[in-house]
Amino acid sequence: MVIRVSMVPRPSDPVVSRLGRLCERAVVSLPAAGAGLSVVARDNQFGLLAAADEASERLEELQLVLGEGPCIDAAAARRPVLIADLAQVGPTRWPMYADAVRDAGIGAIFAFPLQVGAAQLGVLDLFRAQPGPLSAAELSHAFGLADEAVSILLDGQERAGDELSSGESMAGPVELFQAQGMVMIQIGGTLAEAMARIRAHAYAENRRLVDVARDVIARSLRFDQD
């Protein structure tokens, strides 16, 4: 799969902006080539919220399109997924994602779940060009950044009230979740099924999720029940 990078402006939402800056600091303060953060939204679906740069955004979003990767595993297991050498990942673990990120020049990935008790908020991912583990001090710093991300998300929820419960409305881009609701009605299914159809179309056409979502909202793309 060819990973396309397109110019995407920094979101104006203050929570997204703060998390974007956190991802940028992660790249500067840790031996990382990129960083991205995704949140758990409706029906336990993921939405990309922030990334250090456009390349990180594509690597993060690719997990959401394929439905596999360290972000997905870390959220499901509720513990960090620390892959010091992607070359050692077996062919059955992430059959599509692992090859794609290796082709993009990534040698290691570290995923840190963002959670408070039983509440799962999302995952912070760090991407390294060279294989190798994080040191004890670097791991401690990464956990600190994950805790800071949780605080930012919770602060945003407190300001917005119930509308942002479970990160639902913050899980940008907003267009993705608007399109998800429209597709749910079109196919007569659930939100999870709607997201699966959007992801499948994005994968088949090698397009960004948000671009597919915008086509749905503009009514230039419609999904049939079958």
What single string gives the DSSP state of each residue in 75-104? HHHTS-EEES-GGGS-TTTSTTHHHHHHHT
| pLDDT of 135 | 97
What digits encode the pLDDT tens for the residues 159-188?
544 443 343 333 345 677 778 888 888 888
| pLDDT of 202 | 81
Task: Please tell me the pTM assigned to this model.
Answer: 0.71
| pLDDT of 170 | 36
| pLDDT of 4 | 29
Task: Look up residue 6 and give its two tokens.
Answer: 């397109």
Return the closest-CA partner of residue 125 out of 176, 199, 49: 49
Query: How many C-beta atoms surround the C-beta of residue 53 within 10 A?
Result: 18
3-class DSSP state for residue 118?
Answer: coil
Rg (CA), the chain: 17
Share of the chain above pLDDT 70, in %: 82
Return the closest-CA partner of residue 101 out of 124, 122, 76, 126: 126
| pLDDT of 43 | 53
Protein fold of 174-217: Arc Repressor Mutant, subunit A (1.10.10)
| pLDDT of 24 | 96
> What would the CATH number be for the domain defined by 14-167?
3.30.450.40
Domain positions in the chain are 14-167, 174-217
Average pLDDT per 10 consecutive residues for the chain, totaling 226 residues: 32 78 96 91 67 92 89 92 94 92 95 84 94 96 94 70 39 66 86 79 79 89 83
